[in-house]
Structure 1
Amino acid sequence: MTEPRRPNILFIMSDDHASRAISAYGGGLNRTPNLDRLATEGMRHDATYVTNSICTPSRAAILCGTYNHVNCVTTLDTRLDNRLPNVAKHLRAAGYRTGIFGKWHLGEGPAHQPTGFDEWAVVPGQGEYWDPPFDTPEGRRKVPGYATDIITDMSLDFMERCGDAPFFLMCHHKAPHRNWQYHPRHAGLWADEDVPLPETFDDDYANRAAAAAAARMRVRSDMVYNDLGLVQPEGAAARVGELLIGGWPDRKVPELMPGETITVTCAETGERHTFDDPQAFAIFRYQRYMKRYLRTVQAIDDGVGRLLDFLDERGLAEDTLVIYTSDQGFFLGEHGWFDKRFMYEESLRMPFLVRYPAGISAGSTSRDIACNVDFAPTFLDYAGAPCPNYVQGRSLRPVLEGRTPDDWEQIAYHRYWMHNDVFHGAWAHYGVRGPRYKLIYWYNKDLGQAGARPLDAPPEWELFDCEADPHELLNRADDPAHAEIFDRMLAALDARMAQIGDIPEHDSATARRGPQAT
């Protein structure tokens, strides 16, 4: 009797792609027909959460199946020790051809470059959008063209050469990471219309922990000129000093103060715009940001279409598990922010679209809670390979196939370690997200990572009812009516931290609502 063919696994991951910028999620921002195919022909998962909302730690959690205090990749400044076991090594040992192409962002050089892959070509650091260098086993080489298209080409070439062997392919796009350099073929998108402004764009951060107001991630004051494709600032821009972003100097676009005037020039067209109204200038920047972002996303959708067409043409669609996700969520003007880092919903929630005709029902959805540490055991489960006991996630296969176990833990744990860095000013915190409620503890403490700045702020708790308050505008941690819920979520937090072996910074015996000095 012939053994059933083990499925190919095609894992496509972008960088900073918010769920709301995929039309299958109903965000009303753009059209992504190829990504939508995965939802139509498979499952749209609506409750996938990142365990640390920043690029490098998320990638380590996905590859290793462990939380960041275990794999020791807690910040952007930590690197993955490539001697550690990872899912590619296990799948390779199980007979899979393994490859990774695109963004790695887990370190460079012999101690940190990819291991466990038969073939790899990865961009150093964040990578470049145009004519990007790639690190390979043979050394560094520059590849002419647009990064998203090149990474897709490399992925297609790898699949073509796998023959009859099952493959595990990680196609990792740089896009849509800042500074949102889109391909000219998408320059006409949104040219004659505006992107809807989020209803929380002018959030004043009242009724929240102090960390929300302290963050330097505002569209109206914290983006740099290169983010927005602006040059030759005149007027108010003169009072803004230089920042060093990614090794090159740039200047923040200032928030316009009453009585000030500023003139900016669009790099693509040379068109000049003069503003003397602060709100009009803030909205102008939002439109520049979002149109550049959405145009950059569109090349990813093009690439996904090419990958799916290849599977169709080779007769591999039925036997291939295809997953699309992002390394975390992203703020698209909600609360006035860009970037990620926070445990608030837009940053915490990852898109997760999955198609496998042999096992996943077309057009299905799920709200069972999943985390990125669950990805590795899911790959191993579908490959028929054993899951090692060090893995802290759990296979999503029963959830994806509509048979969620009775003991499925409907809880997600998140911890952000990069306390008050110089560029974004996000504060250290951890917490848990359940089906309805979210508890966050802002411990506001530098635990010794590089780049942290001194901060004198007491710890705080936040409790949100994500059903009644989906925009997370009202912290209920102080509300006596929610005291029982607070205690229940605190118990869930304590249990999860004990389960995964993370060390708490709070004292549950003395925990109370609002600011505290534990």
Structure 2
Amino acid sequence: MPERTSPARPPNILLITSDQHRGDAFGFEGKPVHTPHLDQLAREGTRFSACITPNVVCQPSRASMLTGLLPLTHGVHDNGIDLDEDTAGRGFAARLGRAGWRTAFIGKAHFSTYHTHQPTTRCENVQGSAGYLDDWRGPYMGFEQVELMLIGHNYWLPERRPRGMHYERWYHQDGLGDLKDALYREHGGPNGGAAQTHQSCLPVAWHNSTWVGDRTIELLREHARDPARPFCAWVSFPDPHHPFDAPLPWSRLHDPAAVPLPRHRERDFHRRPWWHRAAVESEPATPGEMGRVRREYSRMDPQGDEALRHLIANYYGMISLIDHNVGRILSVLDELQLARDTLVVFTSDHGEWLGDHGLMLKGPMFYEGLLRVGLVVRGPGVGAGRVVADPVSTLDLAATFTDYAGLPPVDWHSHSLRPLLEGRAGSARDFARSEWKLGPARCGVALDLRAVRTARAKLTLERGTRTGELYLLGEDPEEMHNRWDDAACRGVREELVDMIHARPRDELAVLPQPIGAA
């Protein structure tokens, strides 16, 4: 039986996400990254300045956004673990679908693993994708209609038939795949010696960010032709995740010489708890191809200031290309007169260190550049030009969407952001959680990390060894002074540890192991 909605027609919901996008990498955050359309979205809506991710790598954070559950409850506690389909069937997309909404997903999903050395029958698995016909459009993970891409990051170029999903088959359908691949590999300018960084000569028309924008615009036009049902669409750009390969001319939009570098670019392990050094210097206990990928693609050194400037300039270029496509989408919402009836949300799955403390990419060190993400919301009843400093999480999106849909709340870890968006009294938040339980396959050591972030402090606890780190963000925003052992901060530490222990006791008794785990 369809779930009941409120009598008034709820707004459409358009969730737009990027991948590995720092919370400060926006023009409205004061950084020199060209994001005029996202800046406009922030002016017309409300942004959250202290939004964190429930996990700092892709699959767990995305599964939490969908299900409204923390990673150790839905089970996807690291990359390489397929989200259980029954659990996904209780997520926001499935609930809205049962209530009569048209639900769609476009772009990089990453609810299932793509690894090639352990094939599955899932559509996102490289080998499993060969079992899906060209006309397959879902359902998948609670979404009625999907148009997907495999991986979305050009470690490897788009798969050829019979493998691939909708983007890869579109990319190759004109028979120009060899030309496109050659153009992608061609470097359009210097990279300063930066690893995994180049100015791609692939024309923007064939880039996956453009494809995501194109398919979203077509979805909006289809809805305008048949608006009987409200829609809920998750639109997922795979950038600015590494490799940092913005296409021309976007790769030249930001001058490397003018790119600001992090103030603290040294690996100061003597200041940090034991797992910082261990995670960087221990050998991942992963065999075969996955071990090679983790060594060669997931362990980068900034390689000096010149290289880092070129890398950041390309990273910003990838973000600007996403912003360009967000602008195209917002323009079509206006053209079709859908803007006033659509809740638009922009966020990311997690951030990126980008040279902070001498680190690149992501891992088990929850610095703000990695943990904090942007969150901007515009729509009916949402205040314009407001900044909410309460600590919240992208975990909260599931409850937010079902709240706007008029559906009754369920027993999730997610809590609706709607009261904060509407400025209701008594809706303040005290803290948000993040967690990551990882084995030695990823970084050579097993860790059980739990974190809480308040408006002015952040604590991470490694439960196995009862060690941790505490930063007073109000006075130490660059996280230079670990106050864990500071007697003067004992009260703050105990208060935040109590917040960690207040987590609902609904973790899975037996956690699934990631593909590639030893």
TM range (shorter): 0.7 to 0.9
Is 1:348 the counterpart of 2:368? The answer is: no
What is the aligned partner in structure 1 of residue 67 from structure 2?
64
Q: Which amino acid aligns with 2:318?
A: T
Which deviations, in whole Å up to 9, do the C-alpha atoms of 1:127-162 show, x marking residues without a partner? 449974598999972425101000111111112112
C-alpha distance 138-412 of structure 1, shift in aligned 2 (>3 A): closer
Task: Report what 2:235 is aligned to.
Answer: 171
- Counterpart of 1:89? 94
Q: 1: CA distance between counterparts of 2:7 and 2:402?
A: 17
Which of 204, 207, 223 is the aligned partner of 1:146? 207
Gaps of at least 5 residues in structure 2 are 1-5, 114-119, 125-139, 173-205, 282-288, 510-518
The one of 472, 482, 491 aligned to 1:475: 482
Please give the alpha-carbon distance, in whole angstroms, between the structure 1 residues aligned to 2:350 and 2:297.
Answer: 25
Moved more, 68-77 or 410-419: 410-419
What is residue 345 of structure 2 aligned with on the other side? 323
Matched AA of 1:73: V
CA offsets 1:399-433 (integer angstroms, 9 cap, x no match): 11111535x44111111122454569795421211
* CA 1:351–1:253: 2 relative to 1, 3 Å: closer
Deviations 1:459-504 (A, max 9, x none): 4222221111111111112111112222222222212x2x353499
Does residue 414 in structure 1 map to residue 434 in structure 2? yes
Tell me how far apart the structure 2 counterparts of residues 65 and 404 of structure 1 sit (CA, whole Å).
Answer: 24
For structure 1, the 5+ residue unaligned runs are 218-241, 256-280, 446-457, 505-518
What is the TM-score when the length of structure 1 is the normalising length? 0.77
Mapping 1:23-102, distance limit 5 Å? 23-26=27-30, 28-84=31-87, 85-102=90-107
Q: 2:149 aligns with which of 112, 123, 138?
A: 123
Distance 1:209 1:503, change over 3 A: farther
- Structure with the bigger RCO (C-alpha within 8 Å, sep 6+) is 2
Provide the rounded CA distance (Å) in 1 between the counterparts of 2:159 and 2:92: 26
Task: Answer whether contact 1:432 1:440 (CA < 8 A) is retained.
Answer: yes
Q: Which residue of 1 aligns with 2:467?
A: 460
Distance 1:29-1:191 versus aligned 2 partners, 3 A rule: closer
Instruction: Please tell me the residue identity of whatever aligns with 2:314.
Output: R
Shift of 1:398: 0.5
Structure having the higher helix fraction is 2
Structure 1 residue 182, shift from structure 2 partner: 0.9
1:373 and 2:377 equivalent? Answer: no
Aligned residues: CA RMSD: 3.1
Whether contact under 8 Å (1:323, 1:354) holds in the other structure is yes
Separation in 1, partners of 2:238, 2:409: 29
Q: Distance in 2 between matches of 1:324 and 1:404?
A: 25
The alignment partner of 1:170 has SS state of strand
Cα separation, partners in 2 of 1:32 and 1:428, compared to 1, 3 Å = same
1:19 to 19, 23, 29: 23
* Of 454, 460, 481, the match for 1:434: 454
Per the alignment, do residues 312 and 426 of structure 1 end up closer, same or farther by CA in structure 2, a change over 3 Å counting? farther
Task: Figure out how many residues of one structure are paired with residues of the other and give that number.
Answer: 436
For 1:9 and 1:303, locate their aligned partners in 2 and report how far apart those are by CA, in whole Å.
Answer: 18
C-alpha contact 1:81 1:111 (8 A) present in aligned 2? no
Preserved CA contact (<8 Å) 2:167 2:211: no
d(CA) in 1 for partners of 2:65 and 2:210?
24
Secondary structure of 1:468's match? coil
CA distance in 2, matches of 1:248, 1:433: 30
State yes or no: 1:206 paired with 2:226: no
- Which has the larger Rg? 1
2:375 partner letter: F
In structure 1, distance between residues paired with 2:436 and 2:414: 18
Tell whether the 8 Å contact from 1:131 to 1:142 is kept in structure 2 after alignment: no
Q: Quick one: which amino acid aligns to residue 143 of structure 1?
A: Y
SS at match of 1:439: strand
Specify the SS of the correspondent of 1:352. Answer: strand
Question: Offset at 1:188?
Answer: 2.2
Residue 510 of structure 1 is matched in structure 2 by none
Quote the Cα distance in structure 1 between the aligned partners of 2:167 and 2:310: 37
Q: Which letter maps to 1:171?
A: V
Does structure 1 residue 10 correspond to structure 2 residue 14? yes
CA shift at 1:243, angstroms? 9.2
Percent identity over the alignment?
A: 30
